[in-house]
Structures are given as structure tokens and as C-alpha cells.
Structure 1
Amino acid sequence: MTPPDYEYLRKILKDHSGLDLSADKQYLIESRLLPLSRKCGVAGIGELVLKMKGGSSTIIAQVVEAMTTNETFFFRDKVPFEHFRDTIMPEMLKARANRKSIRIWCAAGSTGQEPYSLAMSLKEMGPALAGWRTEIIATDLSQEVLEKSKSGIYSQFEVQRGLPIQLLVKYFKQNGELWQISPELRGMVQHRQLNLLHDFSLLGNFDIIFCRNVLIYFDQDTKINIFGRLAKAMEGDGFLVLGAAETVVGLTDVFKPFPDKRGLYRPSGARAASPQAGGSMPKIAAMAGR
């Protein structure tokens, strides 16, 4: 891969996905794009770049998907899900007692382990949520990983990563060497392809937003822009959950850290009163990711 090809790919990736690669990440591009080159029937990355420069939107989309990190597993990092169970949901049950509805957005849903972990957490609350309407919206840049999420089918290796055995037995059905999550839990999650660089206002407002392990790949200006738009997409007393290596501190004042809860934030103008009972919950519009 020549230096001009690398610079071209860096710009394409930043423009289309927000991925901000440093000057020393050639090895990462080669490891991800050489297999794609073979799949596309070209000799190497140089020819792949030529096709991209020739205006092939399909190749550009494939390159962006290949370079997007989709590492995830059930109940990843544990702490955010403890916050969800012990802090977020108890407060939401009080604040939404009149409305009896909660909307949750997984803004980097990947292959589904995060949204399904939240769905299992909600189911485990049992009678506390009887009569409540809960929505989980999972979005991702990659249509391929969203299709896997929709299927809810995982390998033995995938279900062994972070998923307690009692939940595996309770919510999954085994089929040979694969496991599929129950239709009831699959029905709790809606999927939409979405690029966080694009407008997401049509998704409506959310009470809880999980946006973990994605902003770390963006430059500072992009992070600030996304935080501002996330704040507008959140109810004034909602919760934002970030990854362990992510923070709003030093970047924006639209969110403030929740005391003594790592990775948990609230809008800086958080109010004690809940939104008006019976507030509208717009139907989710399908949005192209790129």
C-alpha cells in the first residue's frame, strides 16, 4: 500500500464513518482490506483504491464496513449493566410512573449482544415492569452486523463470553452448535442502520442512551458534535452510558457525570420532574446508514 493510497483511505474512512486513523495504522488497514480485496476479485489494496476513486459506492461501503470495529459480547464490562439495574431503572420507574413507557437506544448495537443484554435485564425485573411499554432501538453503521443481530443466532464461543449460564438456559434455544435467543426477546429490539455522523433526529427522544466504545475512534470535534446531538435526543432527566475509556469531561458541558458511577452521565440541565404523561413516542423511521 502506497502512502498516497493510505492517505486516501484515511480521508474516506473519516468522511464516511468518523473513524480517525493515525498515521501509523497502515497495518490495521492491510489486515482488514486484504481479505476484502480477494473477495472483490482484485489484486490488492491499490486496485481496491482505484475502484473507489472510480466512483464505486459499493466498494466504498464494503471498505467502511470492513474497517468498522464490531467487537462485542454479552454484558460487556459488567459495570454499565449494574448501573442499568441498580441506578438507571429504579430512577426511571419513579420518573415514568405516570407514562409507563421507556425508550432505550443502543447507538452502536453491533451484532446484538448489548441490546439483548438490556432486554434480558428488563425481563429479569419481572413484575416491576408489568404494564409498561419498553422499546430498545439498536442502530449500527453496518447492515451486515445488524442482520446477525436480527437473527439472534450465536456460536458456543459467543454465548460463553459474558453470558451467565442461567440466562443462557432461560432465554436461548440450542440448535446443534448454535444458540438462538428467544422470539420474545428478539421482538423487544428494533434494528435500524444508522451512521452517527448523519442526522438521527427522526429516531425521536430517548430516556436512556447506550453509546459505548464507538466515540473513542472519533476526533475531538466529531465527539463534541455527536454529544450535542445526543443531548437533543434525550429526555431532560435521561441517562447516557459511555464506554470505560470515554468521557464528556473536557469536551462538552451538555452532559455531567453522575456521582460515583463511572461511565454514567445525565444532561446538564437534568430536571427532577418527568416528561408529560402520555408524551408522544414516534414510530421509528428507517434510515440509511450511508
Structure 2
Amino acid sequence: MTPMDYEFLRKLLKERSGLDLSPDKQYLVESRLIPLARKVGLPGITELVQKMKSGPDALTAEVVEAMTTNETFFFRDKVPFDHLRDTMLPALLQARASRRSLRIWCAASSTGQEPYSIAMCLKELGSALAGWRVEIIGTDLSQAVLEKSRAGIFSQFEVQRGLPIQLLVKYFTQIGELWQLNADIRAMVQYRQLNLLHDFSQLGTFDVIFCRNVLIYFDQDTKAGIFERLARMVEPDGFLVLGAAESVVGISDAFKPYPERRGLYRPNGTRTARPGAAAGMPQALRAVASVAR
């Protein structure tokens, strides 16, 4: 791969996906794109770049997908799901009692483990959500991972990463060496293809937005712009959940950290609930705690 090829790919990936590759990441591009080049019958990346410049846009889409990181697993990092159970859901069950509806968005949902983890948390509430309208939206740039998400079929390795055995037995059906989520859990999540660099206002507003482990690949200006647009889509008393290595601090004032809750943020200008307010959580939430811990 020539320096010109690399610069072309860096620019294209930033424009199409927001991925901001530093000059020393040539090895990453080679490891991801050489297999793709061979799959489409080309000897190397230089030939792949030439075909991209003159060929169909579908090849460019394949390149972007190949460079997108889809690392995920059930209840990843655990802390955000503790926050969901102990802080967000108690506050929202009280605040939304009159309208009896919840909307949750998982941006960069990858192969579905995150939105399905949220769905299982909500399912564990049982009668506490009886009669409520609950929407979970999962979005991702990659059509391939969205198709896998909708199927809800996971390998033995995937269900062993972070998923409590009680939930595996309760919500999955074994199919040979694979495991499929039961239809009632799959039906709780809607999947849509979406690029965070583009307008996403058509999704409407949400009570909770999970946007984890994707912004780390963007430059500061791109992050700031996304935070500003996310702030317009979360309810004034709603929540934003970021990954462990991500923060709004020093980037945007659209959100402020929730006291003593790592990775949890509220829209700026709203009144922050008392961190200990979940002490009297409903029995159903305590049930979730006993399973997920």
C-alpha cells in the first residue's frame, strides 16, 4: 500500500464513517482490507483503491464495513447496566408513570448484544412494566451486523461472554451448537441502519441513549457535533450512557456528568436527581440486581 493509497483511505473513512485514523495505523488498514481485496479477486490494496475510485459504491461500503470495529458482548462492562437498573429505571418509572412509555436508543448496536441486554433487564421487571409501551431502537452503520442482530442467533462463545447463566436458560433456545434469543425478547428491539455522521433526528426523542465505544474513533470536532445532536434527542430528564473511555468533559457542554455514576450523563440545564434515590427501588428491580450481579 502506497502513502497515497493510505491517505485516500484515511480521508474516505473519515468522510463516510467518522473513523479518524492516525498516520501510524497503516498496519490496521492492511490487516482489514487485504482479506477483502482477495475476496473480490484483487491482489492488494493498491488495486482495491483503484477499483474503488472507478467502480461501484457497493465496494466502498464493503471497505467501510471491513474497517468498522464490531467488538461487543452481553452486559459489556457491567457498570452501565447497574446504572440502568439502580438509577435510570427507578427515576424513569416514576417520571413516566402518567404516560407509561419508555424509548431507548442503542447507537452503534453492532451484533445486538447491547440492546438485547437492555431488553432482558426490562423483561426482568415483570409486572412493573405491565401496560407500558417500550421501544428499544438499535442502529448501526453495518447492514451485515444488523442482519445478525435481527436473527438473534449467537455462538457458544458469544453467550459465554458476560451473559449470566440464569438469563441464558431463561431467554435462549439451543439450536445445535448455537443459541437463539426467544421471540419475545427479539421483538422488543427494532433495528435500523444509520450513520452517526448523518442526520438522525427522524428517530425522535428518547428517555435513554446508549452511545458506547464508538465516539473514541472520532476526532474532537466530530464528537462535539454528535453530542450537540444527541442533546436534542434526549428528554430533558433523560440519560446518555457513554463507554468507559469516553467523556463529554472538555468536548461539549451539551451534557453534564451524573454525580457518582461513571459514564452516565444528563442534558445540561436539567435538575440532577439525588444519586441515592434508588435506595427504595421496586422489588422487580431488586430481582434484576440479583441476576445481573
Aligned residue number for residue 143 of structure 2: 143
2:41 equivalent in structure 1: 41
Which amino acid is the alignment partner of residue 166 of structure 2? Q
Of residues 200-209 and 127-136 in structure 1, the stretch that sits farther from structure 2 once superposed is: 127-136
Change (3 A) 1:102 1:42: same
- Give a deviation string over 1:164-191, Cα, whole Å, max 9, x none: 0000000000010000000000000000
- Match of 1:288? none
Distance in 2, matches of 1:20 and 1:93, equals 39
How far apart are 1:128 and its partner, in Å?
1.2
User: Aligned-residue CA RMSD in angstroms?
Assistant: 1.0
Instruction: Please tell me the residue identity of whatever aligns with 1:184.
Output: D
How many angstroms apart in 1 are the aligned matches of 2:162 and 2:138?
Answer: 19
2:194 match = 194
* Residue aligning to 1:281: none
Query: Following superposition of structure 1 onto structure 2, how do residues 126-137 of structure 1 map, counting pairs within 5 Å?
Result: 126-137=126-137
SS at match of 1:136: strand
Alignment map for 1:150-229 (pairs within 5 Å): 150-229=150-229
Structure-2 residue corresponding to 1:270: 270
Partner secondary structure for residue 237 of structure 1: strand
| Distance in 1 of aligned mates of 2:73 and 2:6 | 31
Please give the alpha-carbon distance, in whole angstroms, between the structure 1 residues aligned to 2:185 and 2:45: 41
Deviation of residue 125 (structure 1)? 1.1
In structure 2, how many angstroms separate the alpha carbons of the residues matched to 1:15 and 1:161?
33
Deviation at residue 272 of structure 1 after TM alignment: 7.8
Letter aligned with residue 74 of structure 1: F
Q: 1:96 to 1:116 in 2, by over 3 A?
A: same
For residues 83 and 222 of structure 2, what CA distance do their matches in structure 1 show? 27
CA displacement 1:6-55 (0-9 Å, x = unmatched): 00000000000000000000110011001101111111111100011114
1:103 offset after TM fit, Å? Answer: 0.1
CA distance, structure 2, for counterparts of residue 82 and residue 244 of structure 1: 14
Which letter does structure 1 place at the counterpart of 2:196? L
SS at match of 1:163: coil
Tell me which residue corresponds to 1:53.
Answer: 53
Contact 1:238–1:270 (CA under 8 A) maintained in structure 2: no
Deviations 1:219-265 (A, max 9, x none): 00000000000000111110000000000001111100000000000
| Amino acid across the alignment from 2:95 | A
> In the alignment, residue 129 of structure 1 is paired with which amino acid?
L
Superposed displacement of residue 106, structure 1: 0.1
* Richer in helix (by share): 2
Name the SS for the 2:222 alignment partner.
helix
Q: Provide the C-alpha distance between the structure 2 equivalents of 1:271 and 1:149, rounded to a whole number of angstroms.
A: 36
Report the 3-state secondary structure (helix = DSSP H, G, I; strand = E; otherwise coil) of the residue aligned with 2:190. strand
**Are the aligned partners of 2:266 and 2:272 in contact in 1 as well (CA < 8 Å)?**
no
In structure 2, the partner of 1:29 is 29
| Distance in 2, Cα, partners of 1:70 & 1:162 | 16
Give the distance between the partners of 1:271 and 1:190, measured in 2 at CA: 31
Deviation for aligned residue 1:269: 2.1
Letter in 2 for 1:56: P
In structure 2, the partner of 1:238 is 238
- Residues 13 and 132 of structure 1, relative CA distance in 2, 3 Å threshold: same
Q: CA 1:45 to 1:101, structure 2 compared with 1: closer, same or farther past 3 Å?
A: same
TM-score with structure 1 length normalisation? Answer: 0.93
Equivalent residue letter for 1:256:
K
The one-letter code sitting in structure 1 at the alignment partner of 2:207 is: D
Percent identity (aligned) = 74
Q: Could you tell me which residue of structure 1 aligns to residue 12 of structure 2? A: 12
* Counterpart for residue 278 of structure 2: none
Corresponding residue for 2:118?
118
Give me the whole-angstrom Cα distance separating, in 1, the residues matched to 2:75 and 2:28. 27
Residue 144 (structure 1) shift: 0.2
Between the two proteins, the alignment pairs up a number of residues equal to: 273
